[in-house]
Amino acid sequence: MEITGAELIKAAALLGAGLCMGIGAIGPAVGEGYAAGRALEGIARQPELAGLLTRTMLLGQAVSETTGIYSLVIALLLIFAV
């Protein structure tokens, strides 16, 4: 059985999509975990600022998550456009 060029391109695109999501999810996960940990430290030190720290943390996590969403978009393009 011989592998055609189209099959090889499809296999490379699927492998690239998997790597894109795997590697693209590491950054947001680490960043969001770090932000949550630091916010909890801040709340432990100054409980009266819990509302402000929580809002700021959630905004930062939302911005951090955009890189994961970009990875998802690229992975979907690789899966369905190729």
The answer to whether residue 10 is domain-embedded is no
pLDDT digit string, tens, across residues 3-58: 899 999 999 999 999 999 999 999 999 999 999 999 999 999 999 999 999 999 99
Residue type, 25: A
The answer to whether residue 71 is domain-embedded is yes
pLDDT digit string, tens, across residues 66-77: 999 999 999 999
The CATH number of whichever domain residue 30 belongs to comes to 1.20.20.10
The answer to whether residue 8 is domain-embedded is no
Domain count for the chain, please give it. 1
Domain that residue 33 falls in = 25-81
The answer to whether residue 37 is domain-embedded is yes
* Nearest Cα residue to 74 out of 9, 19, 30: 19
| pTM for the full predicted model | 0.80
The answer to whether residue 1 is domain-embedded is no
What whole-number distance in Å separates Cα of residue 69 and Cα of residue 74? Answer: 9
